[in-house]
Structure 1
Amino acid sequence: MRAVLATIAMLIVGPAMAQDAVSPTQFDNHVAHDSAFGDIAWHIDNVNPGAKGPLVVWLPGSGAYPHFQNFSDGGRGVSFPRELLAFRDRAHFLLIDKPGLPFVADMVFDEATGRPIQLDSPAYRAGLSRDNLVARTALAISAARETLGDRIDRVVVIGGSEGAQYVFAVAGLAHADKAVGWGGLALPQYYDFIIDQRLRAERGEISRAEAQASVENIFTDIKAIQADPLSLDRRFIGEANRRWSGFGPHAAVDDMLALDIPLLLVQGGDDPKAPIINTDFAMVAFLSQGRTNLDYWVYPDADHGFRAPDPNNPGKKISIAGEIWNRVWARVMAEPAS
């Protein structure tokens, strides 16, 4: 993912739409206590709570955003796809708070950085390591399994953007039945920045010599991060070394290849934040090993938010996320091939 790490599928609605949005009151709040990771807040939707169905776990994109956000203009945002949560009457949806973040908060932003004031705290940055997020998520899933018992008939873990970079590791640790990556990567995230510079040179936006100089600078940044991997203050592309030292060098395809459950990657072909050139490698790896448990859905003209050109309005885009989530849901509910 490139220069800005986007929180995928974060929807902001105005006051007139607020009553139709998913509400924090539609979730029951729980806390898992762990000696190593402290208190882990997790939340299960309370629509048809006694019904039997899948436990669907959503892993959000990057940034210090709670699951529910209130803005000063009356708008509201969420860190999950509302189109997916539309199926909450047929499933148990699990949301897990990021370290140091509440479930819902009023949003105030730093004008210089655009980052949430107070929420983008040392506690958040200290907890924002890949291994920490994987372990916390698996612990929350275990707690949800114990709480819901036989009301769960399968566990499906879905990660978007940054969440897609560790969703497959979570699926393995939590013994999930299916896993979905939405707008994610296959190769290390560091590689995205190099892809970007090389493509800029090929498009004639910069010279190849300029691209090479930029790549050399990226190598220098990586070396500095790995030399001080736990730092919370030194920032690269808006995040601390602690975040980058885990996410930057890790190849999600390794987590995928370790699994024999049904896997799905959903990717936009016009995604500047998670270049499809990176994600394509996952299918190459699976085909090269004769593996058949990965499906790869590519929407060639879709961007990171799964918006595509509007055929009726040149220069404008429309969301195609809803139709894709309908397709994903059919995949979630499908019985595995015998």
Structure 2
Amino acid sequence: MMRALILAASAALSATCTSAFAARVLDEAPITIDGQPRRYYHLHDTEAAGKATPILLISGSGCKDFGSRVPFFFERYPAPVDVYFLEKTGINKGDNSETCSTAYKSGDYLERRVSDNLAFIDSLPALKAMTARSLAVLGFSEGGTVAPLVALRSPKIGWLATGGSGGLPQSESFLIFADHGIEPYAKPFSRAYLLQTYAEIKADPESVDKEFFGHSYRYWSSHLFYDPLVTYRQLDIPIIAAMGEKDESEAIESGRALRDEFTKHPHKDFTFIEYPNASHALQAPDKPHLQDYVASLADWFKRQRPAPR
């Protein structure tokens, strides 16, 4: 049975939402993906069916239970909300990421995350019934790498939004951090150490026992050397990307590389937002930008209509 959690509307939400969709609900239900039992979440407003742009949310790295946190990102969303989120394999409710399960580690690589979300779109009746270019995909951090690939492979995706993700291979971002003297990439690590580790990962790309930065070599072989620009160049839908100037996980140069790539193609519908002094979570010393960025997508969806596929 699907169980619903009725979420108390915050003051900010009440100020912007009408009574027609004041009650925000988080549903949790089981689903089988590739023969494995999983769970997914559906955040939506009551009495607002069909009024919202549906969003597929893709989370970042790690094995922390993310599903219960979904409502936080949409607390300031000023419109009916209709969000779907598939929890990663091997994550149990309440997991705090201190110890990741064997099942999680075995499925923790880029192509698996992409294929799981594509299967989710094709398996869940509500998503399967959607027409071409009627679904948006929103990815944060690692999810910002997964989301463009999902957008490229699913004809249902009509908008792409990312946060904390850019256009350079992650291996290059780490080297940029090392060159800038940023810890731990420059100390205790170094450019030479990173290059040596890259070579070791390439020599043993399927290892789930060897680790670097808390992830297996299998994970890193799928992420470190992947070039996002190859995917972005093939997309023909509205795209918006946001990064913090002081992002500590993805070098801001990666976001600027994405911006510069689309500057060469002004006919493409692309928006880049760089928040001054903000972190990977879009948190500036004087202002949190994450929820405001997500809230701004409601208007962006209305203005940036995807062309028919």
With normalisation by structure 1, the TM-score equals 0.75
Q: Alpha-carbon deviations, 1:91-147, whole Å to 9, x = none?
A: 321011112113x2254xxxxxxx423xx0221111011000001001112223556
Q: Does 1:321 align with 2:303?
A: no
**Which of the numbers 240, 257, 265 marks the counterpart of 1:281?**
257
Q: Output the amino acid matched with 2:238.
A: P
Q: CA deviation at 1:254?
A: 1.6
Q: For residue 174 of structure 1, what is the aligned residue in structure 2?
A: 154
Query: Aligned partners of 1:49 and 1:143: how far apart in 2?
Result: 25
Q: Could you tell me which residue of structure 1 aligns to residue 169 of structure 2?
A: 188
Measured against aligned partners, the alpha-carbon deviations of 1:134-181 in whole angstroms (never above 9, x if no partner) come to 010011122235567369982000000111112100111122000011
Aligned partners of 2:47, 2:29: CA distance in 1, in Å? 13
Instruction: Return the alpha-carbon distance in structure 2 between the equivalents of residues 32 and 320 of structure 1.
Output: 35
Task: Confirm whether residue 41 of structure 1 aligns to residue 39 of structure 2.
Answer: yes
Please tell me whether residue 99 in structure 1 is matched to residue 89 in structure 2. yes
Query: Aligned ranges for residues 137-286 of structure 1 at < 5 Å?
Result: 137-144=117-124, 146=126, 149=129, 154-175=134-155, 176-200=157-181, 214-286=190-262
Instruction: Show the counterpart of 2:26.
Output: 26
The change in CA–CA distance for 1:324 and 1:223 in structure 2 (over 3 A counts) is same
Q: Is the 8 A contact 1:270 1:304 kept in 2?
A: yes
Q: Pick closer, same or farther for the CA change 1:337–1:224 going to 2, 3 Å.
A: closer
Shift of 1:267: 1.1
Return the alpha-carbon distance in structure 2 between the equivalents of residues 144 and 88 of structure 1.
26
Report the alpha carbon displacement of residue 20 of structure 1 after superposing the two structures with TM.
Answer: 6.5
Q: Is the 2:40–2:67 contact (alpha carbons within 8 Å) kept by the matching residues of 1?
A: no
> Deviation at 1:83?
3.6
In structure 2, the CA distance between the partners of 1:153 and 1:223, relative to structure 1 (3 Å rule), is closer
Please state how far the C-alpha of 1:329 moved relative to its aligned partner.
2.3
SS at match of 1:200: coil
Aligned CA-pair RMSD: 3.1
CA distance in 2, matches of 1:128, 1:191: 21
Greater mean alpha carbon deviation, residues 183-192 or residues 298-307? 298-307
Task: Work out whether residues 132 and 158 of structure 2, in 8 Å CA contact, stay in contact via their aligned partners in 1.
Answer: no
Deviation at 1:41, TM superposition (A): 3.1
- Report the Cα distance in structure 1 between the residues aligned to 2:133 and 2:267, rounded to whole angstroms: 26
Which amino acid in the other structure matches residue 135 of structure 1? S
**Structure 1 unaligned blocks of 5 or more:** 1-17, 70-77, 108-114, 311-317
- Post-superposition shift, 1:298? 1.3
What is the number of equivalent residue pairs in this alignment? 285
- 1:219 and 1:337, CA in 2 relative to 1: closer, same or farther beyond 3 A? closer
- The code of the aligned residue for 1:84 comes to F
Classify 1:150/1:156 alpha carbon distance in 2 versus 1 (closer, same or farther; 3 Å): closer
Which residue of structure 2 lines up, in the alignment, with residue 66 of structure 1?
A: 65
The alignment status of 1:300 with 2:276, answered yes or no, reads: yes
Shift of 1:68: 4.4
Q: Is the 8 A contact 2:79 2:298 kept in 1?
A: no
2:98 equivalent to 1:116? yes
C-alpha spacing 1:88/1:331, structure 2 compared with 1 (3 Å):
closer
Q: Would the alpha carbon gap of residues 28 and 137 (structure 1) be closer, same or farther in structure 2, given more than 3 Å must change?
A: same
2:305 pairs with 1:336: yes
Give the Å deviation of 1:215: 1.4
The 8 Å contact of residues 58 and 158 in structure 1, kept in 2 or not, is answered as yes
Question: Do the aligned partners of residues 184 and 285 (structure 1) sit closer, same or farther apart at CA in structure 2, a change above 3 Å counting?
Answer: same
